[in-house]
Amino acid sequence: MLNMSQAKKYLQRGGFILVAAGFMYTSNLGLLSYVAHWNSPKLYWKGKLEDTVRAEAELLGFHEEITIKIEDNGKTPGLSYKQGGKYFVQLSPDRADLAELRHELYHIANGHLDSNSINSFWQEPKATFYAFIMSFKDRE
C-alpha cells in the first residue's frame, strides 16, 4: 500500500532524477501521462465527482474550495485556473479521468496557479509525475 508520505518521497526523488538527468521532458512526460491515464476511471456524476475532488484535494493537503466545471475546452481533457481568488477545475465531460483531475489538483495545491503562468519545464512535469505515481495507488 502506497501512502502519501511514500508518494511524496517518490515524487521528490523522481523530480530530482528528472532534473539531474536533464531528460527531454516532452517525450518522457508523454509516456508518464500515458501510463497515468491508462485504465484511469472516467469521471461521470457530478455528486460523486465533488466528493472525489474533495478527497483528492485532502490527499494533497489542500482545504480551500474548488469549483468544478464540466465543459470541454476544445484542447485538453482538463485545466485549472484561479479567478477572483477562487480555484476552478474545468473538465471535459467525455475525456476527463481521475488522472487528469489529480494533475490539475496538484497544480492548485502546490501554488502553481499563483504565479502568472504554469512553468512547463518544472511545474508541469511535477503534476504529471504526481498523477503517474498516484495511478499505481488505484491498481493495488
The residues that touch Zn ion, with contacts defined as CB under 5 A, are: 124, 127
Residue closer to Zn ion (CB basis): 12 or 120: 120
Minimum CB separation of residue 15 from Zn ion in Å reads 14
Strand partners, 69: 90
Question: How far does CA 134 lie from the centroid of its chain?
Answer: 9
Which of 60, 111, 59 is closest to 82 using CA atoms?
A: 111
Rounded CA gap, 138 and 48, in Å?
17
Contact between 39 and 136 (Cβ < 8 Å):
no
Nearer to Zn ion, 23 or 48 (CB): 23
Q: How far is the CB of 76 from Zn ion (least distance, A)?
A: 8
Shorter beta-carbon distance to Zn ion: residue 48 or 67:
67
CB of 47 to Zn ion, least distance (A): 26
Closest CB to Zn ion among residues 5, 83: 83
Q: In this chain, which residue has its C-beta nearest to Zn ion?
A: 127
Q: How far apart are CA 17 and CA 38, in angstroms?
A: 23
- Min dist CB 126 to Zn ion, Å, is 9
Q: Which is nearer to Zn ion, 72 or 124 (CB)?
A: 124
Instruction: Answer yes or no: are the C-beta atoms of 42 and 97 closer than 8 Å.
Output: yes
* Closest approach of Zn ion to the CB of residue 79, in Å: 8
Place of cell 471535459: 92
β-bridge partners, 42: 97
